[in-house]
Amino acid sequence: MKQIEGGITSVAGVKAAGIHAGIKKTETKDLAIITTDAPANAAGVFTKNSVTAAPVVVCREHLSVPMAQAIVVNSGNANACTGDTGMKNAYRMAALTAEQLDIDADLVLVSSTGVIGQQLPMDKIENGIQIAVDSLGKNKNGTDAAEAIMTTDTYPKSIAVEFEIDGKAVRIGGIAKGSGMVAPNMATMLSFLTTDVKINSQTLQFALTRVVDNTYNLLTVDTDRSTNDTVLILATGNADNTEIVETKGKSYDIFYEALLSVCTELVKMLARDGEGATKLVEVVVKGAKNRADAEKAARAVAESPLVKTAVFANDANWGRIMMAIGKSGAEFDPYQVDVHLGDYLLVKNGMDSGYDEDKATRLFDNDTVQININLRAGESEITMWTCDYSYDYIRINADYRT
């Protein structure tokens, strides 16, 4: 498998556009459209927040028949907590896009991100959709779409890979956004994926759900779960592989691992670009009694404000890590726990290992910090991704609507 250029538009049969429609106060791009040349098999995973944005409702409804030919996305406005008007506007976004593309509205998936509780400026949306459809293309436009879905992100997240199934070249491309309100079970996190792999919709949904559980659902910035979380994938079937119809076997395994790799890289980008972040933090928990306990322990460390601020300060305050593991609810013996910073031992059998403070400080002073925890209570292992908390996290969120 190799990385290639082009993001979502590296996949044959996919076009995209990203433009400024005037939804945001700034002059940045704020509306994107992704299309396929023909209806594609589609799958989606969405927020578990009971306060659910209108576009999520529309997507779930349209995916009752798992086919799609377009995704329309706006940033700057979440269209959440907007009542009947918000629902009508979400359906209207699908209808306007379908009209411009001359396709059925049920084949259009809708997504929004931004401020909650405000109605969409539908005059700007309507004009923007027309401009975006007129701008549909390839190459650069994949990057334009990645830029158009951003809110407080500082850079667009995009990746594409090429690999082989049945000796045939196939591709997966993806973009994502998410900087704050990011927690396990996704967040103000949007990700849109495309592939030319021949795969039926049921198998595609199974693979996507499993990948999300092992990537996006193990990402946390600030513990807050959004109203708009969405991951969508469109499979054009333009590749020459034999169609994947089962959730086992060599072809499925190759596709799953490639999709997992793409989403893992996007998750790392999202964590590294958390609001105010200066470091990507990987929390690896090994030796847990079961997966649930591994996730409890990893989540407690990854979400601890005390751990995250210590990482920002390059402070090897391992007591905060032990505290977080202890409050997690995972079963373990504290005097069996080892904690490494990368491969450097900080904690041995739940106590100070006699580490060198200056060396630990230098290891924390990197743009990627890995905290490795061995509970010695079983065989399960998990990795979560997060970031540090800096002074800018407060500034960004205090100023979000101003």
Residue 31 phi, psi dihedral angles, 5° rounding: -145, 130
Mind listing the pLDDT tens digit for each residue in 164-173? 999 999 999 9
Q: What is the pLDDT of residue 52?
A: 87
Mind listing the pLDDT tens digit for each residue in 251-305? 999 999 999 999 999 999 988 887 678 899 999 999 999 999 999 999 999 989 8
Residue 9 has what DSSP assignment?
G
Check 97, 188, 264, 383 and give the catalytic one.
Answer: 188
Contact between 28 and 147 under an 8 Å Cβ cutoff? The reply is yes
pTM of the model: 0.87
pLDDT of 177 > 80? The answer is: yes
**How far apart, in whole angstroms, are the C-alpha atoms of residue 188 and residue 229?**
5
CA dist list (Å): 125 to 65, 250, 323: 26, 44, 48
Q: What is the pLDDT of residue 225?
A: 52
Q: What is the pLDDT of residue 184?
A: 40
Band the pLDDT of 330: cuts 50, 70, 90: very high
Residue 194 a catalytic site member = no
Q: What are 193's two structure tokens?
A: 């994926």
pLDDT of 57 > 50? The answer is: yes
pLDDT of 344 > 70? The answer is: yes
pLDDT of 18 > 80? The answer is: yes
Average confidence (pLDDT) over 70-77: 96
% of the chain exceeding 70 in pLDDT: 92
**How far apart, in whole angstroms, are the C-alpha atoms of residue 277 and residue 389?**
6
In the chain, count H helices and then E strands.
Answer: 11, 15
**How far apart, in whole angstroms, are the C-alpha atoms of residue 185 and residue 299?**
12
